[in-house]
Amino acid sequence: MPKSKIKFTYQDYKNLPESETKRYELLEGELIMVPSPTTYHQRISRNLEHILWDLVRKHDLGFIYNAPLDVVFSEQDVAQPDIIFILKEHSQIITEENIQGAPDLIIEILSPATAERDRTYKRTLYARNGVKEYWLVDPDKRTIEVMILTEEGFQQVGVYNKTLTSPILPGLSLNLSEVF
């Protein structure tokens, strides 16, 4: 039997059985299971989120969220990035249920199961939908790659292993020893 060209929609995704304990993303209408993160992944995520939240709150810059939270780009593309930042002036994309549109910054923490998809498909998905800045956190190398959106897609600003600065978060000087 040939593979069906029928795609799942966001409504299908939202109607997954509540007893389902796995996390999913909807990418090009296909349900993709997202494995549970490791404890090290979760420590990195927590550390990053707390550092960013302190800066964002201190300067009243916007909003920080962490997975699992749906970022709805279209009826067939719904991601759950590890960390999401939305500038205050773009708060209209925040709804009670999800984020409707492109956050200003998305951070993905690489894992063996997701690294290739984060580096390729999601990089393109986020760029096509207007995410201004994208970070790839590599727990093994203890680095963070920072990219900004250009007309050609994401362009690397740098790969940081000591102190990170962000093009869209003024005043951020992130000591990576506090992250890893």
How far is it, in rounded angstroms, from Cα 167 to Cα 123? 17
The tokens describing 74, both together, are 């279209």
Residue 18: the pLDDT is 63
Residue 21: the pLDDT is 56
Identify the three-state secondary structure at position 9: coil
The tokens describing 132, both together, are 């201004």
How far is it, in rounded angstroms, from Cα 16 to Cα 11? 9
- What is the distance of C-alpha 86 from the center of its chain? 11
CB 80 within 8 A of CB 99: no
Q: Report the 10 Å Cβ neighbour count for 143.
A: 18
Structural domain 37-178, CATH architecture: Alpha-Beta Complex (3.90)
Residue 4: the pLDDT is 65
What is the residue-averaged pLDDT of the chain? 93
How far is it, in rounded angstroms, from Cα 105 to Cα 128? 14
Tell me if the pTM is above 0.85.
yes
Domain ranges of the chain: 37-178
Q: What is the pLDDT along the chain (180 residues), one digit of tens a residue?
A: 556 678 888 888 888 776 555 788 999 989 888 888 999 999 999 999 999 999 999 999 999 999 999 999 999 999 999 999 999 999 999 999 999 999 999 999 999 999 999 999 999 999 999 999 999 999 999 999 999 999 999 999 999 999 999 999 988 889 999 999
CB 94 within 8 A of CB 69: no
Cα-Cα end-to-end distance for the chain: 48
CB 106 within 8 A of CB 81: yes
CB 28 within 8 A of CB 18: no
How far is it, in rounded angstroms, from Cα 135 to Cα 36? 20
